[in-house]
Amino acid sequence: MSGDDEGDPRPRILARREVARSRLFRIEELDLRFSNGVERTYERLPATGHRAVMVVALDDAGEILLIREYMAGFHAYQLTLPKGAADPGESLEEAANRELKEEAGYGARRIELLKELSVAPGHMGFTQTVALATDLYPERLPGDEPEPLDVERWPLARIDALFQREDFSEARAIAALHLARMRLESTPG
Amino acid sequence: MSGDDEGDPRPRILARREVARSRLFRIEELDLRFSNGVERTYERLPATGHRAVMVVALDDAGEILLIREYMAGFHAYQLTLPKGAADPGESLEEAANRELKEEAGYGARRIELLKELSVAPGHMGFTQTVALATDLYPERLPGDEPEPLDVERWPLARIDALFQREDFSEARAIAALHLARMRLESTPG
């Protein structure tokens, strides 16, 4: 037995239906037939259509800007990177610069997109693009945060020590910082 | 204005209610009052109670085991690491070894837990613990996958090239591989 579309190894989607919905999320079921004939029903949170960015902002002293933010998933404050969704019509570079201004109080004259990261691709269609922001200058924009965010600085050269901290655990932030360091090490100057 | 609990800077949870539910997921709303008095309603997918692992398995040739798996979130096959939830009563080390046997056809005589990663802590209570598996031997256990998974090997020394591949994008896997390399470099032998 093979899939219905010759040459496409992906399972065939036999049916798709929304099974739950909230203000922010939709959950859908996919009835799938794999190329070996096995049929399964999978659940997923499909892409929302909002592209999102995570910002590694490096200042002239070689330090990156971290924010301390309330994380509802754990009802706890944690350190992470500035991030957020792009507004309609906004490029990812523009979104990165705006989020940096809102959450950390800095703008960037140079923004480079490094990689589109997936979060939990087995179950979620979300991605977040890593943006490297350099040539910073102070500028604050009002954001939609319920409270001002504490900003901390950490030397890029010592991020491996940051990764050992219990209050720094977000996989996307670890990946983003490592990718930014790789990028900077590959282009001196 | 300050929070109701002196010394606890976290917002007070005024109310919590389930707003949607599926077979796998629950979505709840939290009515929060931040310490500055601002009130907001947040949505989150709370912890499921299932602890989960992601396995970096390193063979004697210095190569790590990758799997190619169907990812429903994107309706696409992607490279990632073996992973899964612990069964009731199973330790994380046991879960890592079982998932490795089911998904990659290897067991490990040594398993070390490296770090508990969060996925999207602003909205989700999920974590996944990185397990470093070494001293491998062939052993396959039947899993619950709908089809056998292709296993690929990649030199640990060249994972930065892996991170450039478009079919390798999962933030948790990038973080896990980098943390495993850090760990191995810190303990020669």
**What ipTM was estimated for this complex?**
0.94
Read off the pLDDT of each residue in A37-52 and give the average, rounded to a whole number.
94
Structure confidence at residue A2 as a pLDDT band (50, 70, 90): very low
Contact A27 B30 (CB under 8 A): no
Co-location of A26 and A70 in the same domain: no
What number of other Cβ atoms are within 10 A of residue B91's Cβ?
13
What CATH number does residue A147 fall under?
3.90.79.10
B173 and B124 assigned to the same domain: yes
For residue A173, pLDDT over 60 is answered with yes
Please check whether residues A17 and A68 belong to one and the same domain.
no
pLDDT score for A6:
66
Q: Which residue of B has its CA nearest to A45?
A: B73
Domain for residue A146, yes or no?
A: yes
Of the partner residues B11, B24, B175, the one whose CB lies closest to the CB of residue A70: B11
Residue B17 located in a structural domain: yes
B2 found inside a domain? no
Are A36 and A126 in the same domain?
Answer: no
Residue A59 lies in a domain: yes
Helix pair angle (B171-186, A171-186), 10° resolution: 70
A35 and A81 belong to one structural domain: no
Residue A7 lies in a domain: no
CB A103 within 8 A of CB A149: yes
Residue A1 has pLDDT above 70, yes or no: no
Domain that holds residue A20: 12-44
User: pLDDT class for A160, splitting at 50, 70, 90?
Assistant: very high
Q: Stretch A117-143: mean pLDDT, rounded?
A: 96
- Average pLDDT on A68-87 reads 96
Same domain, A19 and A100: no
B6 domain residue, yes or no:
no
| Contact yes or no for B44 and A19 at CB 8 A | no
If residue B99 lies in a helix (H) or strand (E), which one and from where to where?
A: helix B92-104
Query: Facing residues of A169 across strands?
Result: none
Q: What is the pLDDT along chain B (189 residues), one digit of tens a residue?
A: 444 556 889 999 999 999 999 999 999 999 999 999 999 999 999 998 889 999 999 999 999 999 999 999 999 999 999 999 999 999 999 999 999 999 999 999 999 999 999 999 999 999 999 999 999 999 999 988 999 999 999 999 999 999 999 999 999 999 999 999 999 998 755
pLDDT value of residue B6? 66
Domain contains B4: no
Structure token pair of residue A111: 């923004």
Residue A101 confidence (pLDDT): 98
Residue of B nearest to A78 (CA): B121
pLDDT confidence of residue B180: 97
Question: What percent of chain A stands above pLDDT 70?
Answer: 96
Amino acid B1: pLDDT: 40
Residues B119, B35 within the same domain? no
Same domain, B82 and B24: no
Question: Do residues A101 and A171 both lie within one domain?
Answer: yes
How many distinct structural domains can be found in chain B?
2
Amino acid symbol at B124: M
Which residue from B minimizes the CA distance to A47? B73
Nearest alpha carbon to residue A96 among A65, A42, A56, A59:
A56
What one-letter code names the amino acid at A117? Answer: L
pLDDT of residue A3: 44
User: Do A179 and A117 belong to one domain?
Assistant: yes
pLDDT of residue B50: 85
The enclosing H or E element of A179 equals: helix A171-186
Characterize the bridge pairing of strands B52-57 and B127-138: parallel
Of B42, B74, B179, the CB nearest to A121: B74
> Do B145 and B59 share a structural domain?
yes
Q: Do A43 and B22 touch (CB under 8 A)?
A: yes
Is A86 found in the same domain as A143? yes
Nearest CB to B73: which of A36, A121, A160?
A121
